[in-house]
Amino acid sequence: MPDKRFNKNILCIGAGYVGGPTMAMIAAKCPQYKITVADTNEEKIKAWQTENLPIYEPGLLEVVKKSRDRNLFFSTDIEENIKKADIIFVSVNTPTKMYGIGAGKTADLQFWEKIARDIVRIADSDKIIVEKSTLPVRTAEAMERIFNGMNKKIHFDVVSNPEFLAEGTAISDLENPDRILIGSRETESGRIAREKIVEIYANWIPRDKIITCDIWSSELSKLVANAFLAQRISSINSISALCEKTEADIAKVARAIGMDSRIGPKFLNASVGFGGSCFKKDILNLVYICEYYGLHEVAQYWENVVKINEYQEERFVQKMIHAMFNTIAHKRIALFGFAFKANTGDTRESPAIYITRKLAEERAHVVINDPESLRNAAQDLKDIREYVEFETDPYKASQEAHAIAIMTEWELYKTLDYKKIYKRMEKPAFLFDGRNILDHQEIYEIGFNVYPIGKPALTHF
C-alpha cells in the first residue's frame, strides 16, 4: 500500500550515476513526495546510506543528506517497493549488447525486460513507468506489451523522461537543467500520466523549460543529443590532426569558429578522445537502429563519429611511442588522470583505459595517478596488473619517469610544481598533454619536450 503520509510514492530502480543523483534532487526539492531508490546491489545501497557515497559527484552528499531518512530512502527490497509506488522510474544500465543479434551495437535490454516483468507480476495497483535509462527508439512499445499483455486488471502507462545530466556537474544540471523532456502516448491516459511527471519537475523548474512530446520523439531525442555532442568532439579532434600537420593551433581555430553564434563556443576542446558510459553506446545504438531500417548511409555517417574517436586515441599512443624513439619497453610512464573527465571517479570508456593497454602492450611500466578513480582503474586493468602501478601522489608517480601523459583535465594537474617534477624525471623528459590544460611554452622552457593536441610539438631536439 502506498504511504499515505506523502502525496506521491516514487520508486526508482537503479541506484547508479543517473538514478541516485536524480532522485536525491527530486527528494530535496519535493519533501511532499516519498522517494525510494532500490537496487539489486546491496553494497551500493549500503553506501548510499553513509557519508561515503558509491559515486563521486561534487555537491551530491549535501543534497542526499538534506532528505535522507526524511523522504529519501534506499533499499534492496524491490518487490515491496513496487507494490507501494505510484510512479516507478527505471534507471538500470543498458550496456551495449555483446552477444547475438546486434552484438557490439544495440542496447542490451535484458535488465529492463526483467524489471518490466517483475513489475507486472508484483503490482496490484495502476502504475506509471518512467524510462529514465537511455533506450532504443520504440522500446516503450515492447514494454507496454509486457505491461499490458498479462490481462491483469490494472493499467500501466509508459512515459519517457531521458536524463541529460553530465557527470561532474550533475547537481547543477539537475537543479537548473536546460530542459526537461517528457514523452508519452498521445492518448488520454498517456497525457494524464505525462502531466503527473510534469508536476514533479514543476516543483522547481519553470514550466517553459519542461517540454512534452510523443514518446518516440522523446526516446530518439536522447540518442540524438548525445550523438550531436559526441560529433562536435570528433569534429574538433579530426581538425586537431590537421593542425598538427599544418602548424595551425586547434585552440585558436576553436575560438574563431566558436564565436560564430550559430556554432557556439562549448564542447570544442580537442582531447585525447571522449569517454563516458553514454556517447559511444548511444551512437552505436543509433547506428544499429538506422541499419535496422535500411538507412545505411545514415548509419555510416554516425559510425564515423566513433571511428574518429578511436583514431584520436590511437594517434595519441602512436605519437608517444614515436616521440620516445620508437621504444617504450621498461620505460616508466606516468598517467595524470584516469577518469573519463574531471570531477568524477567514473572510468567507463575512459580513453585512459585504451592508452594504458597500448602502452602495456609495448611493455612500458605505467604509473597511474588520479584523485578519485584509482579504485575503478584497478578494476579496469586487473588483467594487466603486472604492467601498471597505482600512485596517489602525482610527484611520486612521475619520479624517475620518462614521460607524463595527461589523460584527465583535473584542476590539480594545472597547479603542480613542474620544475620539481622535471628535476626528478629521466631525461629527455616528455610531456604529452592529452587535454591541452598546461601552458606549453612554460613547460617547454622548464626543459620538457611537449606534445599538445592539435598544436605543434615543442621539442629541444
Q: Which residues bind ligand UDX (CB under 6 A)?
A: 13-19, 39-41, 44, 91-94, 111, 114-115, 133-134, 163-167, 226, 229, 233, 267-269, 271, 274-279, 340-341
- What minimum distance in Å lies between the beta carbon of 7 and ligand UDX? 26
Nearer to ligand UDX, 17 or 390 (CB): 17
237 sits in which H/E element? helix 215-246
In this structure, the number of other CB atoms found within 10 A of the CB of residue 83 comes to 16
Q: How far is CA 22 from the centre of its chain?
A: 14
Nearer to ligand UDX, 414 or 424 (CB): 414
- What minimum distance in Å lies between the beta carbon of 269 and ligand UDX? 3
3: nearest Cα among 74, 67, 85: 85
Nearer to ligand UDX, 192 or 256 (CB): 256
116: nearest Cα among 106, 101, 136, 130: 130
Measured over the CA atoms of residue 393, residue 395, residue 401 and residue 406, the dihedral's sign is positive
C-alpha angle 209/215/218, rounded to 5°? Answer: 45
Q: Nine-digit cell at 365? A: 611500466
Is-catalytic flag, 278? yes
Nearer to ligand UDX, 164 or 422 (CB): 164
Interatomic CA distance for residues 321 and 382, integer angstroms: 23
87 sits in which H/E element? strand 87-90
Nearer to ligand UDX, 362 or 372 (CB): 372
Say what the alpha-carbon torsion angle 238, 239, 241, 244 is, to the nearest 10 degrees: -170
Please state whether the peptide bond connecting residue 162 to the residue before it is cis, i.e. omega within 30 degrees of 0. Answer: no
Catalytically active residues, by annotation: 278
